[in-house]
Amino acid sequence: MTDVKLPISETFVSLQGEGKLTGVPSWFVRLSGCNLRCGWCDTPYASWNAEGESRAIAELVEEARASNVGHAVVTGGEPMIFNEVGTLTRALGNAGLHITIETAGTVFREVECDLMSLSPKLANSTPAEGDTRDPLGVWRERHEQRRLNFEALQALIDSTPDRQLKFVVSEPGDLAEIERVLAQLTGWAAEDVQLMPEGTSVPEPGRVAWVVEACLARGWRYCHRLHVELFGDRRGT
């Protein structure tokens, strides 16, 4: 069973940079391929220009176990588009690892997961008209159709013992869309909601004061990017 393979763009050990488990030493596996094309995607090597190699699940789990960090983060790209992600997560669970899955929440699959890290994509993610990365001009409409799947989001929330909803925000107008998204979902608490300012650098003081105010007013959390602060915007961190 675990000689099944998955397309992998990278694996690495680092501190989790985002969300409830920020700062926790973790083994990351990034599956290569995505059903969305966010304009601001920070891992284009797993979406716009998916690259990597096919690797056996048994080999990946052995690497995770040998890393001795105890936490595995299954990320992408979009890990849930792959049938075999359930096999990978069950094997990681059998190896005794705590599992976080990082997903946009557009596809539901049966998986083993301790923390479902959902990042529903807002309108600010849709690629611009004429984006040169999309010469056929098909992704703007496709992304817009796929980016919110409330049935999948709800099933993912309900299927795991803990969850977080991380929203990448660009401007105050995004808050109304977040409220609309949350109103269609149940099984989440204010402390599960996180706002992450868009960008690949640490925001200068004052630039995201509106995000801080939104968190304080609603009991939501501010999500920074520890890995960017510690290592800059680069792969393998």
CB of residue 225 vs ligand SF4: minimum separation in angstroms? 13
CB of residue 41 vs ligand SF4: minimum separation in angstroms? 3
52 vs 69, beta carbon nearer ligand SF4? 52
42 vs 84, beta carbon nearer ligand SF4? 42
Interface residue list for ligand SF4 (CB under 6 A): 34, 36-38, 41, 43, 46-47, 76-78, 104
CA atoms within 13 A on the CB side of 50: 18
Handedness of CA 86, 89, 94, 99 (dihedral sign): negative
Token code pair at residue 106: 């557009």
- Please list, in sequence order, all residues whose beta carbon lies within 8 angstroms of the beta carbon of residue 211, skipping any fewer than 6 positions away: 169, 195, 197, 222
71 vs 77, beta carbon nearer ligand SF4? 77
90 vs 194, beta carbon nearer ligand SF4? 194
* Of the candidates 104, 111, 103, 115, the residue with the CA atom closest to the CA atom of residue 22: 115
> Parallel, antiparallel, or unpaired: how do β-strands 5-15 and 53-56 relate?
antiparallel
36 vs 195, beta carbon nearer ligand SF4? 36
CB of residue 102 vs ligand SF4: minimum separation in angstroms? 8
**Nearest-5° Cα angle at 78, 74 to 107:** 105
CB of residue 83 vs ligand SF4: minimum separation in angstroms? 18
CB of residue 76 vs ligand SF4: minimum separation in angstroms? 5
